[in-house]
Amino acid sequence: MKNIVVVGSQWGDEGKGKIVDWLSEQADVVIRFQGGHNAGHTLVIDGVTYKLRLLPSGIVRKNKISIIGNGVVVDPWALLDEIEEIESKGVKVNTENFIISESANLILPFHREMDEIREDSAGKGKIGTTRRGIGPAYEDKVGRRSIRVMDLRSEKNLNKRLEDVLIHHNAIRKGLGKKIFEKEKLKKELLKIAPEILKFSQPVWLKVDQFKRQKKKILFEGAQGILLDVDHGTYPFVTSSNTVASSAATGTGCGLNTVNYVLGITKAYTTRVGEGPFPTELKDKTGEILGTRGNEFGTVTSRKRRCGWFDGVLVRQSIKISGIDGIALTKLDVLDELDEIKICVQYDLNGEKVDYLPAAVEDQLKIQPIYKTFPGWKESTNGIKNIDELPENAKKYIFAIEDFIGTKISSISTSPERDDTILIENPFEV
């Protein structure tokens, strides 16, 4: 049986929802392994739109097991709201089809407040976070003061854990002139929802091992994109977790030999939400066309995405860092109206040619893209399901991308509809 990791090869928003939904139909188990409810996946099934933020995409399909791994940070109230929202659309969420790792760390109200305080005070230096407390929650995890799902089992233990974490946070809040956070009120609120969270709690590493022995097909669902990885992305303008494929192992408690195929979701152009370097960004009419035709607004925040040409240098770098076996190319149809289309094939840094993204943000902000230009196809590719039916110039563009990044394109998406996909290789059948 094949087990697949799906990751974004750019800055997120590559269209993972559609691809993950298609794969989850074939999988037995779907697992989120990093991030929090700052990641949004939009699914359209039988005319019903589901906007998932924390729940794995498999939750909307019958007879699938959906899991939140230990690498995810969980806002328990946001999770319960999302469960209520999705159940209102006819989806059942119960202990038979949904599991939360007992080791998952919780996002608490003071994490959200700290996120907002930092962003508001940073001025031009702001990161562009979703202000949902993701970063501060990961900081507490690394600082060994976090509240985990398992801590909700005992009032005595929860009381001690809250004392420890609030010593840290209240010291910072006092220094910033903010009101200290009261422990008792928060403890009462957590104990109230504890039974609803704990009923889903299990040791995920043990369940994954069980599923492996049962030869179930496992789909590891990544959030955001590799260029937002805290180690390998455009630091400090990154998320607070590791978004690379290998974090599927640490974020669920399974060995690397569990994964058989890494699929990188890749947009046919480039977008980015929030602040940070973006070498191929277009601040002209073409950028506006891409944003309008691509409906480039965030699923979670509704923020307008920055748009630019396909950056082959960055995608090739992501492929090497994450061990990507195949690319799912999305939103090809967005380029249909353009007279010419460009691929970044190299950078100019102070007159020197470089073929990778430098690690220093100062250099990332200075580099200038070097392009290879292709003629547009000026006809619709919307809904095409066979590669032979694509316009010749569209095929040339696709093959040029494949040749430059050095990895095969396994599928091509030609509209937001799930069935409007050119399938070249099914990762579950390779």
Give the model confidence (pLDDT) of 3-21 as tens digits: 999 999 999 999 888 898 8
The pair of structure tokens assigned to 89 is 């659309």
pLDDT tens column, 109-134 = 999 998 888 777 666 666 666 778 99
Q: Is 215 left (phi over 0), alpha (psi -120 to 50) or beta?
A: left
The torsion angles phi and psi of 25, rounded to 5 degrees, stand at: -65, -30
CA distances from 14 to 87, 264, 319, 349, 387 (A): 27, 9, 15, 27, 20
Residue 50 has pLDDT above 90, yes or no: no
Residue 371 has pLDDT above 70, yes or no: yes
How confident is residue 57, by pLDDT bands cut at 50, 70 and 90?
Answer: confident
The pair of structure tokens assigned to 127 is 């990161």
Amino acid of residue 70: N
* Residue 125: per-residue pLDDT: 60
Residue 339 has pLDDT above 70, yes or no: yes
The pairs formed by 399-404 with CB atoms below 8 angstroms and a separation of 24 or more are 400/343, 400/372, 400/374, 401/268, 401/310, 401/312, 401/315, 401/329, 401/343, 402/327, 404/312, 404/316, 404/343, 404/345
Angle 221-78-135 from CA coordinates, rounded to 5°: 70
* Residue 301: per-residue pLDDT: 63
Measured in whole angstroms, the distance separating CA 369 from the mean position of its chain's CA atoms is 26
- Taking residues 364-388, report their average pLDDT: 97
Is 111 a residue of the active site?
A: no
* Residues 82, 55 contacting (CB under 8 angstroms): yes
In 3D space, the residue among 336, 333, 297 whose CA is nearest the CA of residue 421 turns out to be 333
Q: What is the DSSP letter of 370?
A: E
For strand 41-45 and strand 48-52, is the pairing parallel, antiparallel, or unpaired? antiparallel
What is Dmax (Cα atoms) for the chain?
68
In 3D space, the residue among 183, 111, 96, 97 whose CA is nearest the CA of residue 143 turns out to be 111
* Residue 17: per-residue pLDDT: 83
Helix, strand, coil proportions of the chain in percent (round to 5)? 40, 20, 40
* Residue 419: per-residue pLDDT: 85
CA gap 144, 403 in Å, rounded: 45
Q: Rounded to a whole number, what is the distance in angstroms from the first to the last CA of the chain?
A: 10
* Residues 332, 414 contacting (CB under 8 angstroms): yes
Indicate which residue of 37, 41, 111, 232 is catalytic.
Answer: 41
- Taking residues 165-177, report their average pLDDT: 93
Mean pLDDT of the chain: 93
In 3D space, the residue among 86, 83, 14 whose CA is nearest the CA of residue 45 turns out to be 86
